[in-house]
Structure 1
Amino acid sequence: MDVDAAVFDVFGTMTDWRSSVADELADVGSRAGLNADWPTVTDAWRRRYRPVLERVLGGELPWRPLDDLHRLMLDDVLAEHGLDDLGEAGRDTLVQAWHRLRPWPDAAAGLELLHNTRVITATLSNGGIGLLARLTKQAGLRFDCILSAELAKSYKPDPHVYLTAAELLEVEPRRLLMVACHPDDLEAAAQAGLRTAYIPRPLEWGPDAGRVDPPAEVDLVADDVIGLARALGAMG
């Protein structure tokens, strides 16, 4: 595929948010003397993500950094699961858990292969610049550039986010590849004029999650980031 740059979704595509956040919930909860089904709490937290973003995009809520939205969602989830006793310090630690997500095993190696090609790589996540800088550094994910929806003061799937990435990277949208495991992200990117690549992450929602169908139309399907790199001309 002849593209100049590839931008990557991070939560789910490059990192295993579910097990990472569930482990931190269990640790913080244990130290606070709380018991719960922590994977279920994690899923409930994540499922609030899209509805809250839609409220921002619809003008019901003002734009604010994702950390702030994660805190709003967390407070609701803890109340719903009878975990109101968790203090402010514990809640702050849990919001920061999204800065410490573990990468999928192929993510770092695939980016290293891409680093040796002419294709520029960047994040394109709803996470803020600070969050993404810390996450990618601790996870060993070497991108050429950190881009965030924060730069557009919006959130994906707003087309302005994808077009802002193309503008900042100084590439035409049709020569910018959006890489994600989420069909709705890819569909929105395609509608904005980007090329799209799908990487399945069947374990994103855990081993018992149902099958996620790939997008109806996508330019490239790769098994993982290593396969994507090879499809884009990387050797090795």
Structure 2
Amino acid sequence: MKALAFDVFGTVVDWRAGIIGELEKFGKSHGLQRDWPAFADNWRVGYAPAMDRVRRGELPWTRIDDLHRAILVDLLIAAGIGAGDSDIDHLSRAWHRLDPWPDSVAGLTRLKQRYVVTTLSNGNVSLLTNMAKHAGLPWDCVISAELFCHYKPDPEAYLGCAELLDIAPAELTLVAAHPADLRAARAAGLGTAYVARPLEYGPDREPYDVASDHFDIVATDFVDLADQVGA
């Protein structure tokens, strides 16, 4: 293993708490009361179907920023919420301002002493760069599905990441909290490291049992991951 590529939303940053917080600020500034946790969940739920529209050719290649904004507009309309373009633009970029899980920065800092550490996210390059600046994430580089015009779990994203790093797929390990992402990476020839994020979808979600998936590494957090790989 020469490099670790990290899924970002949910694995490195706590998207749900961050988006709920941004929605609450938006609601307060507009005198609105809504079920903001449910709104945040619906915003995230719209992400996969939006990417599928691109895969089916119903939309041209589209950055995640633009998909996020379109989903947000639909949700605001459905909720009967009026907002100006500048307010929508600011709120849609809440995904740029997410905070890391408590162990993320410390774990990444250790890991990069021994390995190349990069993002491998469907988030676009500007989103990931702004997020790194906001959250203090010490990436060696920022690699996005945008560079390949293929969202994960398309194999082009995993293989393209290895190619950009000039290493074999087997020398690259994907780190993710999402088993489907890891399975797709394994099918493309990458190593796999599952990191548990039991609070990603809130405290009421049942923990996922990954024992049957046989991932190469199973860790409780990034510090535990660093311990396991000798960083």
Fold-level similarity (TM above 0.5) = yes
Partner of 2:146: 150
Query: Shift of the alpha carbon at 1:90?
Result: 1.7
Query: Shift of the alpha carbon at 1:220?
Result: 0.7
Is the 1:157–1:185 Cα contact (8 Å) retained in structure 2?
Answer: yes
Alignment of 1:22-37 (within 5 A): 22-37=20-35
Partners of 2:205 and 2:35 lie apart in 1 by 16
Give yes or no for the alignment of 1:225 onto 2:219.
Answer: no
Partners of 1:81 and 1:197 lie apart in 2 by 39
Query: Shift of the alpha carbon at 1:21?
Result: 0.7
Query: Shift of the alpha carbon at 1:75?
Result: 1.1
Query: Shift of the alpha carbon at 1:62?
Result: 1.2
Question: Could you tell me which of 165, 174, 180 is aligned with 1:178?
Answer: 174
Query: Shift of the alpha carbon at 1:53?
Result: 1.1
Q: Does 194-203 or 206-215 show the bigger shift? A: 206-215
Give yes or no for the alignment of 1:47 onto 2:45.
Answer: yes
Partner of 2:213: 216
Partners of 1:197 and 1:70 lie apart in 2 by 27
Query: Shift of the alpha carbon at 1:230?
Result: 1.5
- Report Cα offsets for 1:101-128 as digits up to 9, x if no partner: 01000000001111221x1110000111
Is the 1:7–1:123 Cα contact (8 Å) retained in structure 2?
Answer: yes
Is the 1:149–1:161 Cα contact (8 Å) retained in structure 2?
Answer: yes
Partners of 1:142 and 1:102 lie apart in 2 by 13
Query: Shift of the alpha carbon at 1:144?
Result: 0.7
Q: Does 136-145 or 8-17 show the bigger shift? A: 136-145
Partners of 1:208 and 1:76 lie apart in 2 by 27
Partner of 2:195: 199
The TM-score with structure 2 as length reference comes to: 0.96
Moved over 4 A (4+): none
Question: Could you tell me which of 89, 109, 112 is aligned with 2:109?
Answer: 112
Unaligned runs of 5+ in 1: none
Query: Shift of the alpha carbon at 1:86?
Result: 2.3
Partner of 1:65: 63
Query: Shift of the alpha carbon at 1:147?
Result: 0.4
Q: Which amino acid in the other structure matches residue 31 of structure 2?
A: G
Partners of 2:226 and 2:133 lie apart in 1 by 20
Question: Could you tell me which of 94, 98, 103 is aligned with 2:100?
Answer: 103
Aligned residues: 230
- Alignment RMSD (CA, Å): 1.1
Query: Shift of the alpha carbon at 1:80?
Result: 2.3
- Report Cα offsets for 1:40-81 as digits up to 9, x if no partner: 100000011111112212222211111100011111112222
Is the 1:196–1:220 Cα contact (8 Å) retained in structure 2?
Answer: yes
Q: Which amino acid in the other structure matches residue 136 of structure 1?
A: A
Partners of 1:232 and 1:58 lie apart in 2 by 39
Partner of 2:125: 129
Q: Secondary structure at the match of 1:15?
A: coil
Unaligned runs of 5+ in 2: none
> Kindly tell me: are residues 108 and 50 of structure 1, through their superposed partners in 2, closer, same or farther at Cα, counting changes over 3 Å?
same
Percent of pairs with identical residues: 50
Q: Which amino acid in the other structure matches residue 139 of structure 1?
A: A
Give yes or no for the alignment of 1:160 onto 2:124.
Answer: no
Query: Shift of the alpha carbon at 1:82?
Result: 2.6
Partner of 1:8: 6
Partners of 2:183 and 2:58 lie apart in 1 by 24
